[in-house]
Amino acid sequence: TSQSLSSVSVVSLHPLLLLFLCMCQASAAPICVHGQAGCHFLSLADLFDRVIQHSARMHSISSDLHSEFEQYVLPSRNHIGRINRHCHTATILTPNGKENAQRLAVSLTTLFNQLLFTIVLPLSASCSNLVCSLMVLPLSASCSNLVCSLMVLPLSMQHLGMISNSLSGLSSPEALDPSSDTSGESQAMSDHDLLYCFRRDSNKVQNYLKILKCRIVPENGC
């Protein structure tokens, strides 16, 4: 699936969303949004909780991977390169503070951009290191879970009338296209950096989701 994803250029969100939706429908248990018969209906709060749980798991996996990578693989490496680390997702404008996050979290598009970039790109990026390749494999499973959960979220919100049908405010597709990245450094991103960036991005996703949840469904835990 990673190969298929890499070949698809992110032009618009909708087709990708549909693609993921097809993937999710085929693999995971059906989750209804419209309350159709024969499927399990979840409330919005439950949906948010489920998504947050998936993101938390993904973050824990990535941080474990990163720490193990540093412990077993990195000691022999040079630490100097760490200062110039660039995450592939650095171009995405994401809030770096609480106020910014609260302001920008309202926009789901930003969130989705971040999420997709976080999920898709690591899967598509080439792992030069065999260890990295082996480590990334479990990520894909949790990523698919997260993606599937995330796919339902906007649909339910759209059903509830919280968001408009069209997703606007997308960032430039070229910006999302890894192949169009002019820095040229994404290819050279080391495996260590990849894991580092992935850990950070998953943390971001989790935090954004929590902010969004407390804003939309603030009953419990906020």
Residues in contact with another protein by the rule CB under 8 A: 56, 59, 63, 82-86, 90, 94, 96-98, 101-102, 200, 203-204, 206-207, 210-215, 221-222
Closest CA to 58 of 181, 221, 180, 203: 203
Q: Minimum distance between the CB of residue 219 and another protein, rounded to whole angstroms?
A: 12
Q: Between 20 and 208, name the residue whose CB sits nearer to another protein.
A: 208
User: Does residue 85 contact residue 183 with C-beta atoms inside 8 Å?
Assistant: no
Q: Is 9 exposed, middle or buried (0-12, 13-18, 19+ CB in 10 A)?
A: middle
DSSP state, residue 13:
H
Nearest CB to another protein, comparing residues 17 and 197: 197
* Nearer CB in complex with another protein: 6/85: 85
CB of 204 to another protein, least distance (A): 6
Give the residue with the Cβ less far from another protein, 16 or 108.
Answer: 108
| DSSP three-state, residue 220 | coil
Least distance (Å) from another protein to the CB of residue 170?
22
Q: What are phi and psi of 40, to 5 degrees?
A: -90, 125
What SS3 state is found at 181?
Answer: coil
Nearer Cβ to another protein (91/140): 91
Q: Of the two residues 171 and 203, which places its CB atom closer to another protein in the complex?
A: 203
Q: How far is the CB of 56 from another protein (least distance, A)?
A: 7
Q: Of all helices (H) and strands (E), which one includes residue 31?
A: strand 31-32
Helix boundaries (H) for 28-172:
44-68, 98-104, 108-124, 130-159
Check residue 70 and report its DSSP letter.
Answer: I
- Considering the complex, what minimum distance in angstroms separates the CB of residue 200 from another protein? 6
Q: In whole angstroms, how close is the CB of 51 to another protein at the nearest point?
A: 13
* Residue 135, number of CB atoms within 10 A of its CB: 23
